[in-house]
Amino acid sequence: MRARRVGRIVGCGLLALGVTLSASSVALAEDAPAAGTSALTLVTLTGPGTSAGTRDAADLLARQDAVLAAIGAEEPVYRWTTALNGFALPLSEAQLALLDDQPGIAVIEPDEVRPLAGRTTSATVRGAAKSPRLRGGAGVVIGVVDSGIAPDSPAFADVPGLGREPQEFTGECAEGDGWTVGDCTRKVVGARWFAAGFGTDRVRSSESLSARDVLGHGTQVSSVAAGNAGVSVRVDGRDAGSFGGVAPQARIAAYKACWGAPDPADDGCSTADVVSAVDAAVADHVDVLNLALAGGNGIDTLQRALLGAAEADIVVVGAAGNSGRTSYAAHASPWVTTVGSAVGRMSRAVLTGPGGRTFSGGGRPAAVRGRTVLAQDAAAPGVSRRAAGQCRRDSLDSRKVARRIVVCRRGGIGRIDKSDSVSLAGGRAMVLVNLRPGSVTADFHAVPTVHLSAAAGRSFSRWVATHPGARVRMTRAGGDPGNRRTAPWSASGDPRGPSVKPDAVADGDAVLGALPDATGRTWGVFSGSSAAAAHASGLAALVLAKHDWSAAVVRSLVAGSARPLRGSSVLAQGAGALPSRAPTAHLALDVPARAWRRALRQHTLADLNTGSLLLTARRGTATRTLTNVGTRPEYFSVTARGFTAHRVSIRPLAVRLAPGQSARFTVTVTGPTTPGGLDDGELVWLGARGGVTRVPVALTR
């Protein structure tokens, strides 16, 4: 465990990278864009970077030079020596052939552009926000690899009460278009940007060639993780409550490696740029590293760079991705805390028709009563029924929608834009209906709004069509805002992978975050596993601010504090949904920093002392080691829950551990008792002082 000293932060200075840099913004579409490619090849040499404490940078550079000379290559675009030993450069087919014959090469892969893990974004908030806490995270730096940051947002203001300053962080402040050294403060303590992989010829013209965020994704992620507490939120001149990040006293270092292209389908993050950002963040000594990008297969170049971050005692958090129907969760490596999305906590609303017929959906509307009209039946002269049905701007006939509740179809334009159209046409309220399976939201609209699922939307639309002129009442639903569940689009783990993924899930639906002025709004909501990962990063900062624990212990405590969600398998939710507060348990599963690479080299990643178990029929026994990280002796007992097709036994069933003391336990699976494929459950360790630690277990054939 490393000591975290308290003192003054290193001042922001100029950054000299010695590489070609470029930039742009990142646009988030309803669906993630397809990955692209760049002209670079990524080459990783065997062995760790300097972050493992066993190598010297000069030695690594000499090894790189020898390989480059052997294949007749020019100076690389990027060199990496901290998180890993490698480089990125354009290579000819002949040079690639020579490279294959060189000794000491671990990975050769073409650069690719990966999508961000933001599923949807909206420049409007969903209603009154609440600041969960005023303190937490002081002295901790969260490095955010994303689309940059808006330093002038009140969420990142240099306000009193930020608490003690980080001692170990040594990052710098890279100047660029729209960014000066003065934009780094006690809150935004560092800024770097990387775009040689993405390429200056691919960026859109509206971007700032600096760490400044133009579109907003990086700003939203940073604010959720560590935005200031008690910040007033105003939308369209209306008070929408107050805001605060999960760890409001934590500092932020922005590493801009994600860019936008003229065609939003080409937006994303070059792996070469991302790896360079990770290498810089490790060299800067961030405490937590957040990555909200999807893509990648197996233990690739990026995962090896993140291994270097774990070896440097950094808590690494990655987004699982939002392509749950087509791909497995990103960041399969066990040294990354991979976070998926949970939904269901949004505010609910109810539509009530004559006779008591009700339709329930997402929303926070004021009480409204009025007659309804299908938008496609209220098309303005010369406008198609399709355009009117989607409530596009100027598509509605104000004579037909005035003071009516307008039923709009999802698609074509943004959700919020539809309510703007209804408002401009004189509509009283809006019912937004999905046309196909997908999430519903509780956005803060221009008029009172209820958002219905595809099934409820079809039913309500048919009811409106057969009850012309009927009056409907729109109200907020009382009681529980809804049952949480894993989002259907959140990527699940690979049952053949080295470990259970995701490690946990967190709220990823209509999450409030700050936006840069360039978007035309200062606040907005976004959905996707990027929001969930930001939540987990904030929780890690809360723990680090209070305890001198290793990154592996922090990861174990954060994931183990989750609570399981009904109806979701372990490979969809990991340990379950993360809490809103820092974990209080004292039982952790630690992994020595050097164990990660040894297990990778020996192909024994499944044997690491991680806080989850992925077992097959051929391997029905596993051993883990628990450590009491508390300050008092404590008695811990365990039970197995949730398994339906196998017998799961644990030995011993109870242990008494003094502070710092460890004990091994063995899990044995027998059966199956009933036919079936996947079976899963959890081991629940209860501490005498009230702490609960969950270890998810997935059993595959």
User: What is the DSSP secondary-structure string of 359-374?
Assistant: EEEE--PPPEEEEEEE
Going from the C-alpha of 58 to that of each of 18, 449, 498, the distances in angstroms are: 17, 62, 34
- Scored b (16 or more CB within 10 A) or e, 189-215 reads bbbbbbbbbbbeebbbeebbbbbbbbb
Q: Which active-site residues does the annotation give?
A: 146, 217, 530
Q: What is the 3 state secondary structure string of 197-234?
A: CCCHHHCCCCCCCCCECCCCHHHHHHHHHHCCCCEEEE
Torsion, Cα 604 605 611 612, to 10 degrees, reads: -90
Q: Is 566 exposed, middle or buried (0-12, 13-18, 19+ CB in 10 A)?
A: exposed
Q: Which of 419, 404, 407, 408 is nearest to 370 (CA)?
A: 404
Angle at 222 between CA 219 and CA 228, to 5 degrees: 105
Contact (CB, 8 A) for 366 and 445: no
User: What does R_g of the chain's alpha carbons equal in angstroms?
Assistant: 26
- Distance (Å, rounded) from C-alpha 239 to C-alpha 129? 10
Q: Quote the tokens at residue 537.
A: 């990063």
User: DSSP letters of 253-299?
Assistant: EEEE-EE--SSGGG-EEEHHHHHHHHHHHHHHT-SEEEE-B----SS
Dist. CA 446–CA 272, nearest whole Å:
42
Report the amino acid identity of residue 6.
V
Widest CA span of the chain, in angstroms?
Answer: 82
The one-letter amino acid code at 679 reads D
List % helix, strand, coil for the chain (3-state, nearest 5). 25, 30, 50
Q: What is the DSSP string of 539-559?
A: HHHHHHHH----HHHHHHHHH
Place of tokens 């480089």: 87
Instruction: Identify the burial level of 412 via C-beta atoms within 10 angstroms of its C-beta, where 0-12 means exposed, 13-18 middle and 19 or more buried.
Output: middle
Task: Kindly write down the DSSP assignment for every residue of 592-646, as one continuous string.
Answer: -HHHHHHHHHHT-GGGS--S-EEEETTB-EEEEEEEE-SSS-EEEEEEEE--SSS
- State the Cα–Cα distance between residues 214 and 178, nearest whole angstrom: 10
Tell me how far apart the alpha carbons of residues 117 and 121 are, in angstroms, rounded to a whole number. Answer: 11
Q: Which amino acid is at 569?
A: S
Say how many Å lie between the first and final Cα of the chain, rounded.
38
d(CA 443, CA 450): 9
Of 303, 450, 433, 293, nearest to 374 (Cα)? 433
Residues 6+ apart with CB under 8 A from 366: 448
Task: List Cβ neighbours of 28 (8 Å cut-off, separation of 6 or more).
Answer: 116, 118, 119, 120, 121, 215, 217, 267, 526
CB–CB of 144/254 below 8 Å?
A: yes
